[in-house]
Amino acid sequence: MWSSSSFPPSSPLTLCKPTSNTHLSLTLPTKTPNSHGVVGDSNSSEATPSIPPFHVKSITSTSNPFVKHCVKLRNSSSYRHSHGSVLLVGTTPLREMYNFQESMQEKATTIDCLLLHEKATIPEELVDSGVHIVRINSMVMKKLSGLQSTESIDVVSLVRIPSTFCSLDDYNHHEDFSKLFPSAFRILVLDGIQDPGNLGTLLRSAVAFGWDGVFLLPGCCDPFNEKALRASRGASFQLPMVSGTWSHLQSLVNGFQMKILAGSPGSENDTKPVSCLSHELARSLKDTKVCLVLGSEGSGLSKEASEACELVNIRMSGAFESLNVSVAGGIFLFMLQPQN
């Protein structure tokens, strides 16, 4: 199951802005091995290593305890957040994180371990990084990735949940949102978005159109869900994200003096006016701080959102009743993006 070599131990990797165009600049955090030779937090499980011991250079069995740990990270939201770790599949999210770190050096993302296919080459950015690399075979890769076909998958990474994510669900007091959202000119609010593909796509669009952060209301899926990560293509690590209640959101809106809009399909049953998304509306908001609320396709906007927000819809000339939320959200995010 475990295979080792006499190579010197490597350490978890923190990606930082490079000092040249050739290689990645690294900061290696100091950690102390536990009694099993496993580097991790003091509250990590003693039975299952949070990362493989440093001497381990390959894993060949799907029954390996570390493989089971990784699969549980992929499948269980509570397990992910209790360990503070995410399983990231593929090289694209890694490269997206690297590019983000290159342009925004205030935040750092830590890679604890790189699980590389036995026939794959090390990603160019990480050749001289010192990150702990463990080689795995095709059976282990399939088990870890959860995909039927892994021909295009060379690497699975064990990555820390970024410090830009914060859950306020267990807090009764209201946080200083200026610390959670360093800039709050455009904030996307997701109201009960349960489909991970939709949520991940919305995160990706928010990054693409320069929005400053995302607020997750109750009922949203975990942004570090495997399908959400796949759809976001690394955007989950590039945006400040806060999970909280409607009361927390009201504090955010009041604290930053934001206008709060909500996407609405519009219907004859609406009890308040519904504006139409247009260039004129976008221009009128170019100097205004905006929160945009998007509800789920099944349930729509929550009662709180419907009552508190100014409703805006997208005019459609076709016969369809509404758009997929990720499609509609992409249009809203594009039209209302900050004008630099």
Fold category of 2-160 in CATH: 60s Ribosomal Protein L30; Chain: A; (3.30.1330)
Helices marked H in the chain — which ranges?
65-75, 77-83, 91-103, 138-145, 177-180, 196-208, 226-232, 246-256, 279-284, 303-308, 325-335
> What are the pLDDT digits (tens) for 187-223?
999 999 999 999 999 999 999 999 999 999 999 999 9
78 pLDDT above the threshold of 90:
yes
Order of strands across the sheet with 310-313? 165-167, 241-243, 213-216, 186-191, 290-295, 259-263, 310-313, 274-276
Residue bearing the bigger pLDDT, 318 or 245:
245
Token pair of 54 as six digits = 């440093």
Domain residue spans in the chain? Answer: 2-160, 165-335
The stretch 327-332 carries a mean pLDDT of 96
Q: How confident is the model at residue 21 (pLDDT cuts 50, 70, 90)?
A: very low
Q: Say whether pLDDT at 76 is over 50.
A: yes
pLDDT in tens, 257-267: 999 999 988 66
Q: How confident is the model at residue 174 (pLDDT cuts 50, 70, 90)?
A: low
CA dist., res. 28 & res. 13, Å (int): 6
What is the SS3 assignment for 335? helix
The first and second tokens of residue 168, run together, are 């306020």
Residue 143 clears pLDDT 70, i.e. is over it = yes
How many whole angstroms separate alpha carbon 268 and alpha carbon 330? 25
- Model confidence pTM above 0.85: no
Instruction: Specify the CATH number of the domain 165-335.
Output: 3.40.1280.10
